[in-house]
Structure 1
Amino acid sequence: MALPAIAPYPMPATDELPANRVEWTVDPSRAVLLVHDLQNHFLSAYDPSAAPIPELLSHVAELKKKAARLGIPVLYTAQPGGQSPQERGLQQDFWGPGLPAEPHAAAIAAAVAPDEGDTVLTKWKYSAFVRTDLLERLREQGRDQIVITGVYAHIGVLMTACDAWMQDIQAFVVADAVADFSAEDHAMALRWAAGRCAVVTGARAVFEGDRSAPSSGYGADARTGAA
């Protein structure tokens, strides 16, 4: 039930991204940037010197800088350490006790640590919307777009994107600013998001208005099927 040891794998290239069903673009006046669960505990499953981690942290750091320049609020999720079984709920059954009650494990990675003015939400479940005030914050600020980065792509990132869709919040999953248990899990998360609830884009393009992606590679089937 502990986190797996995650073998290195390459970040998806631009020409491997799935075809998106929709053509949303990020509007800085409507968007927030979410840094999802980039805590030392979750990153400890990876080799920090091997792909995809250097790219992940570099791209998230660059997106934070761009967001600051564009006036886009930056929010983080972080799970608390030392949760009781009651606080863990069913996550206890799937993943065990979770983060230890140790400050370094719970801390957000130094390379992408919050800056003054950023918001850190205490997170309890897969989705960043569950048992948090994320939706209320978005409504209060008049924002209806969320750009999602972090780990793990096929779990919390994907569930957050899907929950955003259910609240009529446009979600953007940054393909090379998320990471997962494997290349296969990463690819599956991108395909599902692009076909069902979000726009999948790259870190270089997300704030530039370029949503183009070929209908090949990871996403050949993204436009097929029905809800």
Structure 2
Amino acid sequence: MDRDRPKRNRIKRIGLGEELSANHGQGVSEMVEIDRWGEVREEDAVLVIIDVQEGLVRAMEDSIGKMVVRNVQNLLGVAQELAMPVLSTEQYPKGLGPTVHEVRELLREPPIEKVAFDASTLEPFTARLTPLKRRQLILTGIEAHICVLQTCAGLLRRGYEVYVVADGASSRRKLDWEMGLRWMEKKGAIISTAEMIAFQLMKEAGTERFKRLVKGFK
């Protein structure tokens, strides 16, 4: 056996009651192989923004709320530059308000309204996601231990690779944020940061694209 070649782990979602579908949610009970040494690829990725709404952002510590909004904005800029699809949601907007202006003005499609915590159970969400035929989902939003976590679990069940952006997600309480990230990582999500994701997607410095996008991360 070639010891220098990275192995591809066979991942079973212990505690979720089912194995990953090799068909992205088509109900096929097979194990899929996920390259744990891989990276986000622009041709295979989708940015998912969960409930970055006025009422939820206001409930965060001010510096945390601003950080999340800034990092979601930066990733939206990268996604648009690379022509990557973006999906966004709003949890009960009548009570929690709309998506914050800084994010909303960059969206090309309206957010999907919901009351379910797991966005992956919603027909409007899957109707946008499934036809894209992309398997890597970059997950951001609020709150990390509720809607982000439950959406992450639903997407993992359906066989997607989920990259959770730690500094693009938050909860009202630090412990909930920490436990949410820990739980998602334990179930198979890859925990990353906005800058890590962005630089993986940009690939190299010195290009005009890099010069445009890197400004947001300084």
Per the TM superposition, whether the score is higher than 0.5 is: yes
Q: TM-score by structure 1 length?
A: 0.68
- 1:40 corresponds, among 25, 50, 54, to 54
Is the contact between residue 60 and residue 171 of structure 2 (CA under 8 Å) also seen in structure 1? no
After TM superposition, list the pairs within 5 Å mapping 1:149-188 onto structure 2. Answer: 149-188=140-179
The whole-number CA distance in structure 1 between the counterparts of 2:153 and 2:37 is: 17
Distance in 2 separating the partners of 1:197 and 1:114:
33
**Structure 1: how far apart are the matches of 2:159 and 2:110?**
22
Runs of 5+ unmatched residues, structure 1: 1-20, 83-98, 100-104, 211-227
Is residue 130 from structure 1 mapped to residue 110 from structure 2 by the alignment?
A: no
Find the residue that maps to 1:148 and give its secondary structure.
strand
The CA deviation at 1:54 is: 1.4
**Separation in structure 2 between the aligned mates of residue 70 and residue 42 of structure 1, nearest angstrom:** 29
With CA pairs under 8 Å and 6+ residues apart, which has the higher RCO, 1 or 2? Answer: 1
Q: Give the superposition deviation at 1:81.
A: 4.1
Shift in Å, 1:75: 1.4
Contact 1:176 1:203 in 2 (8 A): yes
Contiguous gaps of at least 5 residues in structure 2: 1-34, 202-218
Deviations 1:35-84 (A, max 9, x none): 1101112223234xx321111111111110011111111111013445xx
Match of 1:108 in 2: 99
1:57 maps to 2:69: yes
Q: CA RMSD in A?
A: 2.0
The aligned residue for residue 31 of structure 1 is 45
Deviations 1:80-136 (A, max 9, x none): 445xxxxxxxxxxxxxxxx1xxxxx52110111143523421222111112333223
Q: Is the CA contact (8 Å cut-off) linking 1:161 and 1:197 kept in structure 2?
A: no
Q: TM-score, normalised by structure 2?
A: 0.70
Q: Give 1 or 2: higher helix fraction.
A: 2
Counting aligned pairs with the same residue, the percent is 25
Structure 2 CA distance for aligned equivalents of residues 28 and 134 of structure 1: 20
Q: Distance in 2 between matches of 1:160 and 1:76?
A: 12
